[in-house]
Amino acid sequence: MVIPAYNEANNFREGLLTPALEFLSRQKYSYEVIFVNDGSTDDTKKLLEELVKTDSRFRLMTIPHGGKSAAVTAGVLSAKNDVVLFTDFDQSTPLNHATEFITAHEKGADVVIGVRGGESAVKQDTLARKIRSFAFLKLVQIVALPGILDSQCGFKSFKREVAKKIFSNLKVSRAKKITGGYMGAFDVEVLFLSRKFGFNLVQLPVNWIKVPSEKLNVWREPVLMARDTFRIRLYDILGWYEKPSSA
């Protein structure tokens, strides 16, 4: 499991990771947790250094600040287990959904993604964010991912070799310079490549609750993400994505 972390000291101290760690402690299967400190400027690194000392299955990577794409990519490419899942530090999607995701992989799924909404979801969000999310989702469905119900849920899992082929081929998401918490159209590119490479993708409903954050500008970020979504389509038209051999 990969958990990116950028300036998460407050969330750490508030115990947002605790339910996930308690869930893992009850599991009998083998697992690893890779925390990727994305050049945090607060106490995130220090707090995670102390945490990983408590369990040999935890490890910490620190990278120069490159955004969520760089952090998740670094973690995924270093993962060793057969299934690689990435989830947000704030645990807006409870980790207990991992059980359902693993089952889906056992049934043949190469990629499994969470879908927020519906009766199973719990949401606390502002009207502005709901409008932004709806508009961006529709754009993504039209431009790049028809049929994908929720490209942006930060809870996705992959068979390890599938993940490494997808993440090693990211192009738009590998920006040269990232400021703040901007994530880019990272999830869109990951799912676009999942389909382009012919991997079996399954969508599962997940619970979700919005954890307040001021890292992203509610209006500026969707504009940048829309720009990057169009870039993904352009790169594909230009033939800049090479299809790797099957997993």
With beta carbons less than 8 A apart as the criterion, state whether 82 and 101 touch: no
- The verdict on residue 242 lying in a domain is no
Strands (E), the chain: 2-5, 33-38, 58-63, 83-87, 111-115, 155-159, 201-205
Question: Which DSSP letter does residue 95 get?
Answer: G
- The verdict on residue 162 lying in a domain is yes
The proportion of the chain whose per-residue pLDDT surpasses 70, expressed as a percent, equals 85
Question: Which region among 1-5, 134-138, 168-172 has the lowest average model confidence (pLDDT)?
Answer: 134-138
- The verdict on residue 243 lying in a domain is no
pLDDT mean across residues, the chain:
89
User: What is the model's pTM?
Assistant: 0.88
Q: Domain containing 171 — which CATH number? A: 3.90.550.10
- Rounded to a whole number, what is the distance in angstroms from the first to the last CA of the chain? 20
How many domains are contained in the chain? Answer: 1
Q: What residue numbers bound the domain in which 210 lies?
A: 2-237
- The verdict on residue 168 lying in a domain is yes
- The verdict on residue 51 lying in a domain is yes
- The verdict on residue 246 lying in a domain is no
The pLDDT, as a whole number, for residue 246 is 46
Give backbone dihedrals phi and psi of 92, rounded to 5 degrees, phi first.
Answer: -60, -30
- The verdict on residue 245 lying in a domain is no
3-class DSSP state of 1 = coil
- The verdict on residue 95 lying in a domain is yes
